[in-house]
Structure 1
Amino acid sequence: MSPAEADVPDAGEPTEALEAVLGLLRLERTGHDQCTGGSLDHLSGRVYGGQVLAQAIVAAGQTVADAGLPAERLPHSVHGYFLRPGKLDRPITFEVERLRDGGSFSARRTHAIQDGLPILSMITSFQERQPGLEHAEEPPEVPGPEGLESSADLFARYDHPAARFFARHGAFDIRHVEGSIYVPRGRSPLSRQALWMRSRGRVDGDQLLHRALLAYACDQVMLEPVLRRHELVWTSPGLSVASLDHAMWWHRDVRADEWLLYVQDAPSAQGGRGLGLAKVYNRSGALVASLAQEGMVRVHAA
């Protein structure tokens, strides 16, 4: 990734799908430490995990912004558990507990509630900008996104319910370096992959919004290295996948509407669970985030 490669067209005007996601993250404040949000349709028939994760980050961030602190504090880490499947036809209430506002850090616990029960429980830590030691791992050498197949082009070629759904509702352009695993194709059993991703349109918003959008986007690809290792694709018969927990660390500012490189691996799968890891780099090669997610991965006999 050379500096010249950074001179690429921006993401353009937001698509209808991206506008829908942005609208979803504009939560309604219903109390001092409470707000409410809706859900977008999802192919699984339940609330998409990345959606409720991003909404919970925004909800927690609002209580930091109004805490009267002397400087802006941004989320630097999240640890959450997906406890129950969310219902698409029910609103989600986000209840935030103010755990601590220290000299540099703030901590919030957020519960996403439906029908009186938590579907997500999450702790987010925030920090004001401070100087300190600085280093980061370099990204691997991979082809840039311009020469790779867009997920939008791929979905447009297939007459399949999943392809039609994501062609219409996909808010992010995803481009796999090793070839996608949306449909069967030639592949090798590797537990690693790399892909580029950015929103389908410019995003005018602050760092809280862009960091929440990164959380929204990453949930849809975190377990793909597990599938790739076992030569599965998203349309494999009998495949059942669900996120169990999610950990995320933001190291530097990030923009969801600029190309981001995900370098992923799956060190283990066992007992119907798989672990996905990812490092996320911006186009200039800076490490902006690290992620870990464990999920249920089962293949039922046909």
Structure 2
Amino acid sequence: MDHDDAAANGNQYLSFAQLMRLDKVGDGAFKSTAKAFSPGGTTAAYGGHVYAQAVWAASQTVRRGFVVSNVTGFFILPGDTTRPFVYHVRTTRDGGRYCTRSVDVFQEPQGGICFTCTCMFKVDEQSDYDCQDPYDLPRRYRSALGDRRPEDWPEAPSVDSPWYWEMQAANNGTNHAFPGLSLRKVDMEPFNQDRGPLERRQLQFYSTTGDMAAVGEEHNLHACAHLYACDRNSLFMIPNHLGAGDGYTQMASLSYTVVLHVTSQELATQVNGKKRWFCQEARISRAGGNRGLHESRIWGEDGRHIATTMQDGLVRIGSPSKWAAKMGSARKAKM
């Protein structure tokens, strides 16, 4: 597999802090400094980059102690890894415990908006109640997880589709480098093989790379790591779990909502120099009309449910006869 020209995209191992770094270019305006990852090594930017960095830009305008709790973003135009992103942040409201920002994102030379989002920040609070579903990943997914640790699983493929798996196999497992995170995909076939599309699940473990302590008490940077992780290969689950493999003809994120449920300390990706592993438990809950809905829960090492995500995606899939022709007899969906 040919590796990418660094001048074209950001497919290189880089610390998360370096990946998210911004230059201030005006009042409420910020510019990216690192190039975005490109799945498959083209110049199409990974959507999770602009999603997370837009919130990081917005966090530069809030008072200390406010940490992102809710984000809804809309993907308008494809991102291009050869051009920097410019983030324009608007103050919607500043309150005592909550504040809201809107962010419009452009690429130079400035054209139309490529991404827009509204994000809410809040101060940490404790309450007399704290309810969540029981943490049962080790038990429920025992057939897939076994006794393996998060770091024992292989890197998630650059593109989670049969054509890319074949390319990896032909090149001794070579993968496009993913910046910012160590992200590992669990082979879920033992769990998924006898289940229908909506009952199948995908687990991914992730942790941040580089020294997060070097940036100081930047709780929002840790929060943005979860936003960056949750979009990784998400829509590719839809054709995979439907049995269509790479029989899709078009795929793009339309909108993404993430709700963060816990305090800034529980969102921390590293504590006292030790990295934490988190697990994204994902499923598809609806597919039709050339769209699909990807949902997930993100769990901490201690079994805390830290975030919930929902992504609406454009997914056009050809007829079943075309799937079969495209998949070929040697392609087996890895679900």
TM over 0.5: yes
The answer to whether the aligner puts 1:131 opposite 2:126 as a matched pair is yes
Instruction: Count matched residues.
Output: 274
Deviates further, 191-200 or 102-111: 191-200
Work out which of the residue numbers 170, 174, 182 in structure 2 matches 1:164.
174
- Give the Cα–Cα distance (whole angstroms) in 2 for the partners of residues 157 and 106 of structure 1: 45
Deviation of 1:237 (Å): 4.6
Which residue of structure 2 lines up, in the alignment, with residue 110 of structure 1?
103
The change in CA–CA distance for 1:177 and 1:284 in structure 2 (over 3 A counts) is farther
Which residue of structure 2 lines up, in the alignment, with residue 146 of structure 1?
149
Deviation of 1:255 (Å): 3.7
CA deviations on 1:202-239 (whole Å, 9 max, x unpaired) are: 54143211111111111014334423431244xx2545
The change in CA–CA distance for 1:281 and 1:172 in structure 2 (over 3 A counts) is same
Work out which of the residue numbers 310, 316, 327 in structure 2 matches 1:292.
310
The change in CA–CA distance for 1:221 and 1:106 in structure 2 (over 3 A counts) is same
Which residue of structure 2 lines up, in the alignment, with residue 210 of structure 1?
222
- Give the Cα–Cα distance (whole angstroms) in 1 for the partners of residues 188 and 171 of structure 2: 22
- Give the Cα–Cα distance (whole angstroms) in 2 for the partners of residues 149 and 272 of structure 1: 36
Work out which of the residue numbers 74, 77, 84 in structure 1 matches 2:77.
84
Deviation of 1:287 (Å): 0.5
CA deviations on 1:67-100 (whole Å, 9 max, x unpaired) are: xxxx501000001100000122222110000111
- Give the Cα–Cα distance (whole angstroms) in 2 for the partners of residues 49 and 203 of structure 1: 24
Q: Any conservation in 2 of the 1:49–1:243 contact (CA below 8 Å)?
A: yes
- Give the Cα–Cα distance (whole angstroms) in 1 for the partners of residues 105 and 119 of structure 2: 13
SS at match of 1:209: helix
- Give the Cα–Cα distance (whole angstroms) in 2 for the partners of residues 276 and 293 of structure 1: 5
Counting only pairs closer than 5 Å after superposition, residues 19-30 of structure 1 correspond to structure 2 as 19=14, 21-30=16-25
Counting only pairs closer than 5 Å after superposition, residues 1-302 of structure 1 correspond to structure 2 as 17-19=12-14, 21-38=16-33, 39-42=35-38, 43=40, 44-65=42-63, 72-114=65-107, 115-132=110-127, 133-140=129-136, 141=139, 142=141, 143=145, 145-146=148-149, 150-152=153-155, 158-159=169-170, 164-166=174-176, 168-169=177-178, 171-176=181-186, 178-179=188-189, 189-191=196-198, 192-199=200-207, 201-205=209-213, 206-233=218-245, 236-252=246-262, 253-256=266-269, 257-300=275-318, 301=322
CA deviations on 1:13-32 (whole Å, 9 max, x unpaired) are: xxx94425432201111122
Structure 1 residue identity aligned to 2:155: A
Structure 2 residue identity aligned to 1:216: Y
- Give the Cα–Cα distance (whole angstroms) in 2 for the partners of residues 294 and 258 of structure 1: 29
The change in CA–CA distance for 1:187 and 1:296 in structure 2 (over 3 A counts) is farther
Q: Any conservation in 2 of the 1:196–1:259 contact (CA below 8 Å)?
A: no
Deviation of 1:259 (Å): 1.8
The change in CA–CA distance for 1:17 and 1:229 in structure 2 (over 3 A counts) is same
CA deviations on 1:233-273 (whole Å, 9 max, x unpaired) are: 4xx25453211100001112324442212222211111111
Identity, % of aligned positions? 21
Q: Any conservation in 1 of the 2:100–2:118 contact (CA below 8 Å)?
A: yes
CA deviations on 1:154-179 (whole Å, 9 max, x unpaired) are: 87962369x6343x336433132514
Which residue of structure 2 lines up, in the alignment, with residue 7 of structure 1?
none
Q: Any conservation in 2 of the 1:107–1:124 contact (CA below 8 Å)?
A: yes
Q: Any conservation in 2 of the 1:195–1:261 contact (CA below 8 Å)?
A: yes
SS at match of 1:158: helix
Q: Any conservation in 1 of the 2:250–2:314 contact (CA below 8 Å)?
A: yes
- Give the Cα–Cα distance (whole angstroms) in 2 for the partners of residues 147 and 103 of structure 1: 39
SS at match of 2:184: strand
SS at match of 1:103: coil
- Give the Cα–Cα distance (whole angstroms) in 1 for the partners of residues 62 and 316 of structure 2: 39
Deviation of 1:148 (Å): 8.4
- Give the Cα–Cα distance (whole angstroms) in 2 for the partners of residues 23 and 202 of structure 1: 9
Q: Any conservation in 2 of the 1:145–1:175 contact (CA below 8 Å)?
A: no
